[in-house]
Amino acid sequence: MTITHTVVFRFNIESTDVQAVIKQFHNLKNVCVRQGREYIQSIESGVNISEEGLDRGFTYVFIVKFDNKSDLDYYVNDDIEHKNFKLAVDPVLIKGEHDNGALVFDFECIERK
């Protein structure tokens, strides 16, 4: 079953580095390697377009797909490219009273017939 890693950011849109950070995130698909192979299936992203007013200021979402939980765990805990990205994104996030400007939600996709 596919594992989906969802990351939502509250970007400081006044920062000139936001576009570079978005590009760096997308490039993780090409530079994250485990046991000699690229292991991220896909990365999609986009800006929030909801008019419901429930976004709590979060502005941008990334959807990252993995083949399995083991690949996700490696990405989150061990991949140096991912660690470098987290250092790069931190300065362009707007921190909330109770959060660091990021929200992560991981789930295993349920296939329906």
pLDDT digits (tens, 9 = 90+) for 63-75: 999 999 999 999 9
pLDDT at 55: 92
Residue with tokens 């991981």: 106
Candidates 6, 2, 105, 11; CA nearest to 60 is 11
State the pTM of this model.
0.92
Pairing of strands 102-108, 3-9: antiparallel
The CA distance from 65 to 53, in Å, is 27
Q: Largest Cα–Cα distance in the chain?
A: 46
CA distance 55 to 77: 28
- Please give the pLDDT value at position 85: 98
Give the residue ranges of the chain where pLDDT is below 70: 112-113
Tell me the C-alpha distance between 110 and 91, whole Å.
35
Report residue 58 as tokens.
């979060």
The domains located in the chain, with CATH, are 3-108 (3.30.70.100)
d(C-alpha 9, C-alpha 26), whole Å? 14
